[in-house]
Every structure is written in structure tokens, then in C-alpha cells.
Amino acid sequence: MLELNLVNLFYNRIHALKDVSLTVGEGELVALIGANGAGKSSTLRAISGMHPIKSGAITFEGQNLSQVPGHLIIDLGIAHCPEGRQVFGRLSVKENLELGAFRRRDKAALKQDEEWVYTLFPLLADRNAQAAGTLSGGEQQMLAIARALMSRPRLLLFDEPSLGLAPLIVEQIFKVIKEIKDQGRTVLLVEQNAYQALHISDRAYVLETGMVKLSGTPQELLANEEVKRAYLGG
């Protein structure tokens, strides 16, 4: 479904991605793990058109994304759930969800999807009229995921969904991401919590200083001594 081939990305003179190549098959949950500054978030920004690449190619279902304006990439079926949640604080929960679906015109299906995300996160249904900025960090993360789902994407990009959250909320967030995958959506997950990410993924890549250092199944990476030392506390 998604392929990155020798992608290079710069922030001015900073070479953030260096010949990054990876694939995500339809229906897979693929994790990107690595330290801060490894290029994980930059990879997602390159895919969703938030930052142009210098060279290489990114293709989604055979279409070259570098030729698609960033604001139209969502129409292809890609949704980006950003780091830091970035909800619209002055707008209500319901209004945030509506903005997630701003390109859609299928009102009946929109209503179904709204009801579905409320089953994933019942707390949001109870607070649908509440200003998003007054929600807790965990609740805002739930809203950010629900808002991304409202575009009815086929590929979801999650950037650090567990960042700064309490352990019980982290467990709930990962359970929902796994459920989203089990319902047939494809997921590319950027996550510093390598242990949690590996336990719900089909495959994973380890990024280091903008390069793919390792890749494999969760079982292979969990057994890798280098990965255990660097990312799993052992």
C-alpha cells in the first residue's frame, strides 16, 4: 500500500532523513521506533505532505505522493494523527470531529462514523459539547484519534500517541489502535514506547539518526540484544 524508496528530507541544512526505504502492506500495523531525533516524525510528515522531500519517492497505492499537494493527500485515504494532539481547543469535541471530516459529503455515513468513534471512546460522547481545550491530555489524545478516523482513512499515521500519558490511558490507547487495525485499516505507528509498539505491530523498523538501522518482526527485534539495550531497558 505504501512505499518509501531512498527518501531524503532536509530542514534547512539538517539532513533529517537519509535514504529511508520502507514498506507498509495493506492491513498491516507497522511500527517505527527510535530515539528522539531519529527521523520518525519526519517520516510521517513526508508521507502526509507536511514537509517536501529532497529526493527519493513516496508512493501510496501506486500514486506518487510528491506530486500531490499536502491538503489533498487526505482525499487519497491517508490521515495523520499528529504528535502533541493539536486539537482545536476553543471548539467542542463534536466540532473537532466535524473538522476531521471536512472533505466528506456523505452525511449518512458520517453519522455512522461519528457513532462508531463514540463506541471506541465513550467518554467523548459524554463530552461532545465540551470545549476540547478543557479535556485532559488523555482525553485530547482520544479526540485526536477519533478526529483522524472521521476522514474514513485507509492508512492512519500515528505520531507518539502515548506521549505524556498515564499508564492506564496508554494501555487504552494501544488497545484502540489494535482494534482499528483489526477492523481492516492500515497503520503506521511512530512510538517511543518500543515495548508497547512491538507488542501490537506486525513488523517494525528501527530508525537511528535519520536512517533505517534495523527491521523485522516484533519477535526478531524483541530478541535483538542491540534493540533491548537501546530501547527496551535491558
Residue-wise pLDDT tens digits, 121-162: 999 999 999 999 999 999 999 999 999 999 999 999 999 999
At 107 the pLDDT is 80
pLDDT for residue 1 is more than 60: yes
Domains of the chain: 25-51+67-77+153-234 (3.40.50.300), 89-152 (no CATH)
User: Which residues, at least 6 apart from 21, have a Cβ–Cβ distance to it below 8 Å?
Assistant: 4, 5, 6, 7, 212
Q: Mean of the pLDDT values across residues 94-114?
A: 89
Instruction: Give the pLDDT of residue 205.
Output: 97
Q: How far apart are CA 158 and CA 80, in angstroms?
A: 6
For the whole model, what pTM was predicted?
Answer: 0.93
What is the side-by-side order of every strand in the sheet holding 14-24?
14-24, 2-11, 55-60, 63-64
Q: What is the pLDDT of residues 181-204, one digit of tens each?
A: 999 999 999 998 898 999 999 999
In the prediction, which pLDDT does 233 show? 65
Residues 6+ apart with CB under 8 A from 197: 31, 33, 189, 191, 204
Specify the amino acid at residue 229: R
Q: What is the pLDDT of residues 16-53, one digit of tens each?
A: 999 999 999 999 999 999 988 999 999 999 999 999 99
pLDDT band with cut points at 50, 70 and 90 for residue 108? confident
